Structure 1
C-alpha cells in the first residue's frame, strides 16, 4: 500500500516514486540552494544550519577553493578506469591525509562514505590476522548504542536495538558497554566509569577468548549517546588492552575527525593512535562523497612488500574518484593552510559559553571543539515524540537545523560560522527550550 503524500506546501502531490532517507512528514523540507551556513527551501524560507549538514559542510555551502578544484577537475576528467589505474588527486590526497594523521599512520584507503570505511576496516582487521597466521580471529567488539553505518557489516557492529529489524547481523559481532552507558544504566560514578568500562571490555575479551577477536571498534565521542566524550585516559587503557591481547584497535572518527575536536583527529586530542582510523564527513567539505581508512604501518605491511603502493581488493567502482579526490585534497589543503585548528578553537571559545547560557539548568552540555551535545532535563514522551525530537522540531519551526533524539540534542556548527551566527543559533535554541522545557 502506498503512503499518502504529505499535504504541506513543501512537497509535490505525488511522491510514490521517491524513497526518502527518513520517514517524510509535514516538516520535511525541499532544499533548493545554500550559501554560507544558510539553506533555502522552495518556498523561500531560510534555515541556519547548526549541524554542518550532518557534520559535513564544515567550510560552509559556498567554499570557493573546493568548488574551483572540483570544477577544474570536471573539465579534465570525471572518472578513471579503477581496474587499470588511478589519478594524481587520489595519490596526493592519500599523502596529505597520512601527513595530517598521527605518526605511524602511513596508508590511506579512499572510499565513498563512512559506512564503506567501517566495512573496509572490518575486512582489513580480519585480513591482517589471516595474513599473520591467526585466521581464527574474526570477532569484532563494539559498543551497545554506538553507531557505525548503514551497510550490513557496519550495522552489525552498531549495537542498537532499532537495527534488529534487518535480522541477524554479521557473525562475530560482540557488544560491550561504554563508560557513559555504565553511568546511565548502572549508576557507576563518572570518575570511575572509564576504568570500569575498560575492565569489563578486558573481561569480555577473556571470556570470548583473545585468539578469536580481530578488532575493537569505538567512537571516541559517541554521537547517538548525546556526544558522550571518552573519559580521561580511557582510550589509553583500550590501547594497552588491545596491545596486550593482539587486537586491532579501530577508531570510528567519521564524526570526530577532520578538525571537529579542535585538532585534525580525535586521536590527537586523546593522545592515542589506533591501528585503523575511519574518517569521513567533513573530509570533502560536503562537495563529494568521500571517506577513508587510515592505516598504521604494521597493518598496511600485510598488503604489500613496501616497494610500492599497497593493494586491498575488493573495492568500489567510485572509490578514489578524481572529482571526490579533488574535493578532498582542496579541503585538506584549506584546513592546514587556512589555520583552521586555531579558528576552531577561537569559535569554540565563543560558542560554548553562549550555548551553556542558552541551556541554563535545562540540560547538561558536553563540548569538545565544535562538537556539542546537550542531555536534556524535562518531560520525556509527549505525543509519541521524545524530548530531544521536540526540541529539534521547535528549532526547525524557528529556522534552525539541529538534531534531537531520546533525551539529547546535538550541534556541530561549521568552522566558518561567525560569532553573530553563533549567537543566533544559541538564541533560537534558547527559545525552543523555553517552549519545551520551561524557563531556564
Structure 2
C-alpha cells in the first residue's frame, strides 16, 4: 500500500508556488501517465477513476489526439486572433454543431468552463436587451451547484464558501434543485422534480419575469454527489422558460461528450436549452478548451444577416489552433471510435461493481459513466466528512476519485478495461472497509 508521506518527493522550498487547493501531506507531485494510470516522482502508481476531473475520457495516452496536436504544433501553433482564425477551429465548430442537440447550430470557442459560463451569461443578457427586454439582467441558478472560478461563474455557484470574495455579481438569484426536495420532503424523484420546477417558477414570478434573463442549471449536479435531474424535470423547465421568455442555459461542462450515454445530457434527459456550455472532455484533457453552443435566436442577435456571427470581447487564446486541433481529434475519436456503443457495456459493468462496493454504506447514483454515492454518516462526525475520509483512504491504496462532505464521485475513462474496473472497485471496497470498519 502506498504511503501517504509524499514529502520526500517534493523540493524543500515550495514558497513560490500557489496551489489550486491547500497543500497537505496527501498532495502528489505527478511525474508521468499512461493509459488510466499516473505515477508520481517517488515512483508510486495511481489508477485514475475520475478521468482527471471528468476530462481525460480516453486516458493519458490517446494517440489520435497526440498526433493531431503534434502536427498542429509544427504547422501553426498560434494565429493572430484579431485578424483571423484557423482551419482546426472551423472544423471543430462544425463537428460540435453536428454532435449537439437539434437547434444549437452556432459555437463560440473559449479556453475553459468558467469562460464558457461567463460567455453564456453575457450572451443571455445581451440577447434579451437586443430583443427589447433591457430590464432583464437577473440569472437564476442552483444553491450548491458549481459553475466555475471566475467572478461571474462563482456568483452563480450558490455556496457559502464563495462569499469570502465579497458580494457576487448583481442579479444572481439562487433556487433549490430537485434532490433537496427529495431529501427534505422524503418524496420520490419525479415528485421532487415537480416541486423544484414549481418553486423555480414561483421564484421567477416573485423576482418579476421582466427582470430575469436566464436560468442556468446543471443536468447532473456534481457538488451534490451527482444529483441527476428526474425524468421530465428539464422539460418542465423548458416550458417555464418559454412561458416567461427566459433563456434556458445548460451547464454541460461535466456531462458532455458521452458521459451520460448520449453526446450530451440534453439528449439523454430530453430537453434542449437555448445555450449550452461544454468543456472538460471536449479536448480529452490535451489542451485547455471549452465552448458555448447556442440556437438561431441568439446567433441572429450577433449577426447583421446571413453568414457567420461574432461575439466580443473574447480571449487571446480562444479558438487557439493547438486547442482546436486537440478538440477536433477528440470529438472525431469519440464519434468514430466506437465509444457510444462501448460505453454502454462499460457503464453496466462499472455500475455493478460500484453498487457491490458501496453496499449498505450509501446510495449509488449513476447515469452513463458518471457516478456518485451519497454515503451513510460516520459515527461522531458532525462535519459530515465521510466523503473526504473515503477519498483519502482510496488515495492511500493508489486510487484517485473525488470525495467531499457526504459523497464521492467517479467518472472512469471510456478506455477502462474489465480488469481495471475490477481493480477500481476492489480498492474502493478496501477503503470503505477501513473508513466504516467493515460491512454492517
Normalising to structure 1: TM-score of the pair? 0.97
User: How far has the Cα of 1:339 moved from its partner?
Assistant: 1.9
CA spacing shift, 1:373–1:328, aligned 2, 3 Å: same
* Count of residues in Structure 1 that have an aligned counterpart in Structure 2: 435
Query: Following the alignment from structure 1 to structure 2, what is the Cα–Cα distance between the partners of residues 294 and 177?
Result: 25
Do the aligned partners of 1:139 and 1:213 also contact (CA within 8 Å) in 2?
Answer: yes
User: Does the aligned pair in 2 maintain the 1:121–1:250 contact within 8 Å?
Assistant: yes
Deviation at 1:181, TM superposition (A): 1.4
Q: Cα–Cα, structure 1 residues 383 and 355, in superposed 2: closer, same or farther, change >3 Å?
A: same
Contact 1:10/1:28 (<8 A) preserved: no
Paired residue secondary structure (1:175) = strand
Instruction: Provide, for residues 274-301 of structure 1, a one-character-per-residue CA deviation record: whole Å limited to 9, x for no partner.
Output: 0000000010000000000011111111
The Cα shift of 1:183 comes to 2.1
Partner of 2:50: 51
Distance 1:383 1:108 in 2: 46
Q: Over residues 99-126 of structure 1, what are the superposed CA-to-partner deviations in whole Å (9 max), with x where a residue is unaligned?
A: 0001101100000000000000000000
1:270 lines up with 2:269 in the alignment = yes
* CA distance 1:358–1:82, shift in 2 (3 Å): same
Secondary structure in 1 matching 2:7: coil
2:228 maps to: 229
Shift of the alpha carbon at 1:431? 0.5
Which region of structure 1 is more displaced relative to structure 2, 393-402 or 305-314? 305-314
* DSSP 3-state at the match of 1:435: helix
In the aligned structure 2, how far is the partner of 1:300 from the partner of 1:406?
41
Go from structure 1 to structure 2 and tell me whether the alpha carbon gap of 1:145 and 1:61 turns closer, same or farther (over 3 Å shift): same
2:153 aligned residue = 154
Q: Residue 114 of structure 1 contacts residue 279 of structure 1 at CA under 8 Å; is this kept in 2?
A: yes
Q: Distance in 2 between matches of 1:63 and 1:305?
A: 41
Cα contact 1:380–1:387 (8 A) shared by 2: no
CA deviation map 1:204-250 (0-9, x unaligned): 11111001000000000000000000001000000000000000000
Number of the residue aligned with 1:27: 26
Q: 1:44 to 1:385 in 2, by over 3 A?
A: farther
Could you tell me how far 1:346 is from its partner in structure 2?
Answer: 1.2
Deviation readout 1:156-179 (Å, 9 max, x if unpaired): 001011101000000000000001
1:165 aligns with 2:164: yes
Q: Which residue of 2 aligns with 1:111?
A: 110
* Secondary structure in structure 2 of the residue aligned to 1:293: strand
Corresponding residue of 2:337? 338
- Could you tell me how far 1:384 is from its partner in structure 2? 6.8
Counterpart CA distance in 2 for 1:348 and 1:7 is 33
SS of 1:9 mapped into structure 2: helix
Post-superposition Cα deviations, 1:18-37, rounded to whole Å, max 9, x if no partner, equal 00000011110000000000
The aligned runs of 1:249-268 (5 Å cut-off) are 249-268=248-267
Deviates more, 1:302-311 or 1:150-159: 302-311
User: What is the TM-score when the length of structure 2 is the normalising length?
Assistant: 0.97
Contact 2:190 2:232 in 1 (8 A): no
1:129 and 1:137 in contact (8 A); partners too = yes
Partners in 1 of 2:261 and 2:362 — Cα distance?
23
Please tell me whether the aligned partners of residues 68 and 326 of structure 2 are also in contact (alpha carbons under 8 angstroms). yes
RMSD (Å), alpha carbons? 1.3
Q: Which runs of 5+ in 1 are unaligned?
A: 1-5
Q: 5 Å matches for 1:71-220?
A: 71-220=70-219
Match of 1:302?
301
Quote the Cα distance in structure 2 between the aligned partners of 1:257 and 1:172.
Answer: 27
Taking a change above 3 Å as real, the CA distance of residues 18 and 384 of structure 1, as seen in their structure-2 partners, is farther
Offset of residue 191 of structure 1: 3.7
SS of the residue 1:409 aligns to:
strand
Give the corresponding residue for 1:3.
none
Q: Distance in 1 between matches of 2:421 and 2:408?
A: 16
> SS at the partner of 1:277?
strand
| Distance (whole Å) between structure 2 residues aligned to residue 317 and residue 110 of structure 1 | 11
Q: Distance in 2 between matches of 1:189 and 1:236?
A: 18
Tell me by how many angstroms 1:260 deviates: 0.4
Deviation at 1:7, TM superposition (A): 7.8
